[in-house]
Every structure is written in structure tokens, then in C-alpha cells.
Amino acid sequence: TIDHSPSNFSVDSTNRILDVLSEHGAKATFMIISSQINTPERAATVKRMVSEGHELGNHGTIDRPAVKLSLDGFIRDTESAQAVIDAFLTPTSDDALHEEPKKEMIRWYRPGHGIFTGSMKSWLSTHNYRVAIANVYPHDANDLPPTQSSSPGLNAWHLRNRTLRAGSILLVHDRPWTPKTLALSLPSITSRFAVVTLSELSKRTHEAEDKEDRTSIHSAPHTSKASPSAILKKTQ
């Protein structure tokens, strides 16, 4: 997953991230901050994300801790950002002539700074959002040095060495140093795992669980379900 997209530094870095993902056959869920789609160039880059098979998630209207909002403010912020995102997922009349109808997409949400309240979580659940945090994060935003790092080499080392199981959710930020971070880490990661969107990960997890459920009918009563860590190991 790529947080804070499109980049508020330079949209060129977002496009270079897309180039690197394409080079390595990787797909991502871009967590969109809607106020950063503020130029035609940035809008074109978000359209490129969609056209190249990536996914858009909701990361709010601006970069701030979600937990600091009132529930009403949180709802307004989430719905406002989602309206912007949905506009990129709705085919124009021209597009509709050439595209197959899309099935309803999962609406992913990641709270600003990764923290929110129980009432916010309940609202998201009742309004058909799925919350995605992450378990592999190299602290690459560099908003709070020295606890965070803009070093591509260090951040790539973290990604390579902490992505130890399939089903991991990786988080990097849309920063000028991120294209190099991904270029240094993806060769190793993609040699071991498929790198897919959150929705694809969810789909594969459910398919594996369904298969295990069917198998367990003819197995011992205590056969356990497949965990997400069993899902995305790359097949040869």
C-alpha cells in the first residue's frame, strides 16, 4: 500500500512509483488524500493508477490524525474524500463504450496516523468500509526524524527483511525517495511473493478459506483453516 497519494512533494515521484511497480509486475492500493488531487497533472496520475490496475483507498481529505476529529467531523471527512475517489472509479460515457462493467469495489479506509476511535470503526463497518492498517512499515515518511528515515537503502532493507510471510500488508509513503526504495526491494520480494492489491489479497484469503472448509468436511474435526500467511506464496 502507498500512503499519502498523490505525492504532495512532486507528482513526478508518484509516476515513478507507478513505473517501478509496472516494471516488477506489482500492484498496489494507493491510499488517497483527496485534497492533494489539486492539479490536472495529479488527477491524470490518479487516472493512471486506475487504468494500470491499481486500487484507490481512502486516507481522508488532509494529512492529520483521524483520532483528533469528532465523530461528525470524521464522517464528513471520510465521505468527502470518498466522493472524490469515486469520481475516478466511475466510467465516463466514452469509457463505458469500451469497458466491461466493473463489479462493486471494496472501499478501503486507513485512518490518518493509523489511530481512530471505536465509534469511528463502528461507523465505517456499518457503511461498508474495510479498515486496512499494515504490519510491514519502514517508517519512511521522514516527518519525525531521526525516528523516521528517507534513506532508500535503509527502507528497502526493512521491506526485504520484514516481509517474511505471505499475507503481509506493506506500507510506504508517496515520497520522492520511494521509487528507489521500491526499486531496491521489489526484486527480492517479488521473487518470493505476489505483490497485489488489498482487494486481491482479501479475495485470495477467502478462496483459500473456502477451499479449506470444503476439504475439512472429509478431514479430522480439528483441521484448522488456512491463514492469510498461507495465501500469496508465489507458485513456480
Please report, for the chain, the start and end positions of each structural domain, with discontinuous segments joined by +. Answer: 2-91+104-199
The residue that leads in pLDDT, 125 or 215, is 125
Beta strands in the chain (DSSP E): 2-5, 29-32, 55-58, 107-109, 129-131, 172-173
User: Among candidates 42, 39, 144, 34, which has minimal Cα distance to 78?
Assistant: 34
Grid cell digits, residue 49: 493508477
Lowest-confidence range among 45-54, 163-172, 223-232? 223-232
Pairwise CA distance, residues 65 & 111, whole Å: 7
pLDDT in tens, 129-148: 999 999 999 999 987 777 78
Would you say residue 4 has pLDDT above 50? Answer: yes
Pairwise CA distance, residues 137 & 132, whole Å: 13
pLDDT in tens, 204-214: 887 877 676 66
Residue 92: per-residue pLDDT? 58
Residue 105: per-residue pLDDT? 81
Would you say residue 219 has pLDDT above 60? Answer: no
What's the CATH number for 2-91+104-199? Answer: 3.20.20.370
Residue 230: per-residue pLDDT? 29
Q: How would residue 231 be classed by pLDDT, with cut points 50, 70 and 90?
A: very low
Residue 200: per-residue pLDDT? 96
Pairwise CA distance, residues 199 & 164, whole Å: 21
Residue 103: per-residue pLDDT? 53
Grid cell digits, residue 151: 534513506
**How many other C-beta atoms can be found within 10 angstroms of the C-beta atom of residue 129?**
18
Residue 236: per-residue pLDDT? 33
CA atoms lying within 13 Å on the CB side of residue 109: 27
